[in-house]
Structure 1
Amino acid sequence: MVHDTSDPTPIETHHELVDYLVQGCRPKEAWRLGTEHEKIPFYRNGHTPVPYAGDNGIHALLDGLAARNGWQPIIEDGLPIGLIEPKNGSAGGGAISLEPGGQFELSGAPVRTLHDTRDELLRHLADVKAVADPLGISFLTLGMSPLWTRAQTPVMPKGRYRIMANYMPKVGSLGLDMMFRTSTVQVNLDFSSEADMVQKLRVSLALQPVATALFANSPFTEGRPNGFLSARSNIWRDTDGDRTGMLAFAFEDGMGFERYADWVLDVPTYFVKRGDTYHDVAGLSFRDLMAGKMPGLEGERASLSDWINHLSTVFPEVRLKQFLEMRGADVGPVPMLLAQSALWVGLLYDQTALDGAWDLVRDWTEAERQALRDAVPSEGLAAKIRGRNVRELAREVLALARAGLKARAFQNAAGEDESGYLDPLDLIVERGRNQADDLLALWHGPWQQSVEPAFEECIF
């Protein structure tokens, strides 16, 4: 999510809510991918968190980046809270945004190939490093802040985050940790039709725990092992049950755009934005807004931007907007960021690979899918479904994804196709150890039970 919209176009019927999702359908030749990743900033001197204000804070970092790359500031209450890349014909459209605790996010522009994503990512990191280095700032490649308490973590000046932070403790015990201390990578992918969306949604939901195990990279909290390989993934299990999870209904007969829209309608609203003002309506019904009966905003009717903003406040393992978002992976170093996009592009953008993946998961039950999702944050590649561990399953999934990428046959200047971006995942499966396993071995060994070395070794 980049920034909240303010489109006043009124929405008056249920059909218009559904139609907004339907408009995401694109022919295969128009499919693109967009990679998003978050990274936790810290000061190299003292390994302390970076506040928003100050001569070398997040505000200064945004100002420096805008001066360097010409991106336009996104302003809220007179303060920059992100940057947006100007469109240049069909190119551009990326953005930089701030997560609640200062996690610095690149939302990549829609691009055609993984090679394009790699080039974009390297440009972004070079720009960020050029501006951040003189400020004394570096960025962690970990999926969770490994040292600081929640109280030590800064708060970014965004209206929606104030509302969310007030509401989260009412609906779960870990929502504030999700907001302020975790960091993820995701890829956004297209679909051609309702049937294509449903197949992709089902496959990616069922296999999201496999991605979680492969990318697990958040084993530390407040200086010690937290008992998980992906604490970030575990945190989502107790954030807000109304708006998270594995979407069991997506596997039921009749699944489609309307069924998803109905689910989102039943998720309590966080806020309604009018102009630059965020109205706190946390826990109230979007249906009341459509009827002009939302308490405190009587007479106000839902607009298109209200629906778009509301869609961005549900957090299932795979999220549907006018594209699909893969949400199961911890952030990691550059090769892992590219591998995450490669995994899902390979599986979902080649029909043979997609059909093969569906054959793997189609007869799993809701209980089996949920049990796997619950086990993976702590058990990683050793978690099992139907007597098979995730490591074995991942080997099959990666073979399908590699074949899918080879079939796409998009080559870079050196004549290499996209399948090489999966190599880090093949190595993890071959070794039977993910990033978190390796980090824990370092903590118990060379790091001498300290996370301080992570601030030297686990950085972009």
Structure 2
Amino acid sequence: MSDSISDGGDCTEHRTAVTEPEVEALVRGICFKTGPPRTLGVEVEWLVHELRLPQLPVTPERLEAAYAALRTVPLSSPLTIEPGGQLELSSPPAASLMECIDTVSADLDTVRAVLAEYGLGLVGAGHDPWHEPRRYLHEPRYDAMEACLDRTGAAGRHMMCSSASVQVCLDAGYESPGPLGHERRWQLAHQLGAVLVAAFANSPLVGRQPTGWMSTRQLLWMEIGAGRAGAPDPDGQPRTAWARHVLDAPVMCVRRDGSPWDVPEGLTFREWIRSRAPRPPTRADLDYHLTTLFPPVRPRGHLELRMIDAQPGDDGWIVPLAVTAALFDDPEAAESAHQAVKPLTERAMNLPAPHNPLWTDAARHGLADPELREAAAACFAAALEALPRLGAAPAVLDAVAAYLDRYVARGRCPADDLLDSLRGTDLPPSRLRPAGGARTAHGRKDIRT
């Protein structure tokens, strides 16, 4: 599941200047690859902290020593480093839900065992609750990204260096209409996205203080701005709407040999094509431009759902993966989810996600919002019915049922646990201490090369 829409290679075509019609054709033809939904994947991001006392900062030198050891370990899933030193494990496309879970679980066992040798562990939270943003990677891409995002405030640095998520990757769906058609799945992803934000909100703290938001991570994306982190017109045909969005989105940087890279202000890709300054954009520039756009649903041939906060516990990521896969890939569950979220559309006021009232309420209130709670309960019930049809193991069904009982049925989310614990003495080890050792149950540095 590559970030690039090209077939790769340093061919002449890749270095040739592109026109607006060519960009539209490329984006329309490659970012939505339709067909029967057969594969899925997951990208799990983790904060890396001191195993014994996660409130203590970890030096860059110590992180580098641990990451050097990880580079020598064979894994089935590519492991990458985020700008702040977070780790992301990206599964290969899997033919079934259980294949995806088993592959990632085995890789995480290995990663945790290596980190434990250095006294480090993985923490699942949408935003680091303890530390200020600190950049670990110093490369031209991230220098340019920081310079660009700083123009809208501090949200960009928090997003780059202090956030983590569970990103579910789904096939785009059939070309034809119906519950598994690509247009319906694209629409469902944006409507259901607010429910997923609310149900799995897990980032209420910054600097150990409540922010007033259950998903501060989602707030950060909203503050970064619609051009960089927003969705296209919700009523548009997916291919047309996304192609227009790509052309009208601001260019993050113009790459060149050496550093620093140029960071233009207010230059859209369409304007870059027309002005041909500081140089004409190429196919490679288009590929790169796509990796600098962070909508809540990103089409990359498949659909990448980016709105779910990282989850607590070694296996917390499995529940959002299982629920989302069931609601998209089982026809009956997909129709149930569509009906469950349909009443919420009026609250979106026909505005793109996440910059509309529905997504704002989801990020701020989580499942304390009655309508979001009702929709989430219906979606979890539909997922539980569908998961056996997808071959889910009993342990997965038990985990989803337990989440429904502990959180959804009570109008709660993991963020509520963190806030409850804050009212005591401190963040409890059971909630946010990194787990060590083996389990018992855009354009980033590749850690394995």
TM bucket by the smaller chain?
A: 0.7 to 0.9
> Displacement of 1:116 after TM fit?
1.4
Measured in 2, the distance between the counterparts of 1:301 and 1:235 equals 30
Deviation at 1:374, TM superposition (A): 0.8
Q: Please state if 1:404 is matched with 2:412.
A: no
Change (3 A) 1:373 1:20: closer
Higher relative contact order (CA 8 A, sep 6+): 2
CA 1:376–1:294: 2 relative to 1, 3 Å: same
Moved more, 188-197 or 264-273: 188-197
For the pair 1:258 / 2:258, whether they are aligned, the reply is no
SS of corresponding position for 2:227 = coil
Please say which of residues 125-134 and 170-179 is displaced more in the overlay. 170-179
Shift of 1:330: 0.8
TM-score (norm 1): 0.81
Question: Conserved in 1, the CA contact under 8 Å of 2:3 and 2:291?
Answer: no
Aligned residue number for residue 18 of structure 2? 12
User: Does the aligned pair in 2 maintain the 1:50–1:154 contact within 8 Å?
Assistant: no
Match in the other structure for 1:27: 35
| 1:126/1:200 CA distance change after superposition, 3 Å | same
Are residue 280 (structure 1) and residue 262 (structure 2) matched? yes
Give the Cα separation in 2 of the matches to 1:251 and 1:419.
35
1:40 to 47, 71, 79: 47
- Post-superposition offset of 1:403: 3.2
Q: Indicate if the aligned counterparts of 1:39 and 1:103 stay in contact, CA closer than 8 A.
A: yes
Counterpart for residue 427 of structure 2: 451
Report the equivalent of 1:435: 414
Q: Deviations over 1:73-112 (max 9, x none)?
A: xxxxxxxxxxxxxxxxxxx5x3111212111111111112
CA distance in 2, matches of 1:199, 1:372: 19
The residue matched to 1:39 in structure 2 has which SS?
Answer: strand
Question: 5 Å matches for 1:413-432?
Answer: 416=394, 419-420=397-398, 422-427=400-405, 428-432=407-411
Deviations 1:347-374 (A, max 9, x none): 1112232233223344623427722211
1:417: Cα distance to partner? Answer: 9.2
- Does the 8 Å contact 2:234/2:350 carry over to 1? no
Deviations along 1:202-235, one digit per CA (max 9) or x if unpaired, are 1111121111111111122112222222111122
* TM-score, structure 2 as length reference: 0.83
Show the counterpart of 1:60. 65
**CA contact under 8 A between 2:318 and 2:396: conserved in structure 1?**
no
Consecutive unaligned residues in structure 2, runs of 5 or more? 437-449
Which residue of 1 is the match for residue 292 of structure 2? 313
| Alignment gaps of 5+ in structure 1 | 72-91
Amino acid at match of 1:438: D
> For 1:376, which of 343, 362, 373 is the aligned residue?
362
Aligned to 1:179: 160
**Aligned partner (choices 139, 143, 146) of residue 122 of structure 2:** 139
1:395 maps to a residue whose letter is: A
Contact 1:44 / 1:455 at 8 angstroms: preserved in 2?
no
Taking the aligned partners of 2:169 and 2:151, their CA distance within structure 1 comes to 30
**2:250 corresponding residue in structure 1:** 268
Any idea what SS the aligned residue of 1:260 has?
A: helix
Name the one with the larger strand percent. 1
RMSD (Å), alpha carbons: 2.8
Q: 1: distance between equivalents of 2:217 and 2:39? A: 27
CA spacing shift, 1:424–1:33, aligned 2, 3 Å:
farther
Report how many aligned residue pairs link the two structures. Answer: 414
CA shift digits 1:90-140 (9 cap, x unpaired): xx5x31112121111111111122211221222222211222112121121
Kept in 2, the 8 Å contact 1:163–1:282? The answer is no
Which amino acid is the alignment partner of residue 18 of structure 2? E
Counterpart-to-counterpart distance in 2, 1:175 and 1:202 = 27
Matched, 1:213 2:198: yes
